[in-house]
Amino acid sequence: MKLYDFPPCPFGQKVRIVLAEKGLAYEFVQVDLSQGEQRRPEFLRLNPFGRVPVLVDEETTIYDSTIINEYLEDEYPEPPVLPAIGSSAQRARARSLEDFADTSFTLQVGQLIGEMGKAESDRDQGRIQRMQRSIERVLDYLNHELQGQEFLAAQFSVADIGFVPRLLVLHELGVDPALNRGNVDAWIKRMLERSSIQNLQGVTAQFVTGV
């Protein structure tokens, strides 16, 4: 099994968490996005969209982190990263929250990273504050959804995994995810007990060192 990825990519990090949770061995093939390696013809043969991650498992090639994780769950079901079969409502909830993380959290935090990465004199402080407030609203929503729950969809799942990569960098971006959010605080602490997530912390810290 090979994973074509770039270490700071949050979508690749989702896949690496699932691979670690399932104890699957794989060869990591770095595709350096900063050098445009995703546009090389040999990579475009794997993913015509020129994006990481891409998983190659024997004769099967899959791209898009959500689809990769669905494949891993189907092909290597233990331990599961979706609620048990038969819990259709919880499985749908997990998938919906993973999509919400991708579209309404990960991308927004990425935009904030981009703005904060500029020279201080070039930063748009008004835009930074608007993005921080938008992220805070997502965190407030999560705090509500976690009321009385250890995880977002009955058990640790792709719903939680989808939020992890960008949760780990929020402090460096001026956002405290746990501030006045006891449910989020406890949730993050539970996730940080998992070795699959502990392994990402060094990567994410290195990524935002210059912010």
Residues with catalytic annotation?
Answer: 9
C-alpha–C-alpha distance, residues 86 and 15, integer Å: 24
Q: At what angle do helices 88-101 and 158-167 cross, to 10 degrees?
A: 20
How many H helices and E strands in the chain? 9, 4
DSSP bridge partners of 28: 3
C-alpha–C-alpha distance, residues 120 and 148, integer Å: 41
Identity of the residue numbered 170? L
Task: Give, as one character, the DSSP assignment of residue 59.
Answer: T
C-alpha–C-alpha distance, residues 36 and 65, integer Å: 20
Taking the alpha carbons of 73, 77, 79, 84 in that order, is the dihedral positive or negative? positive
DSSP bridge partners of 30: 5
Contact in structure between 99 and 93 (CB atoms under 8 Å): no
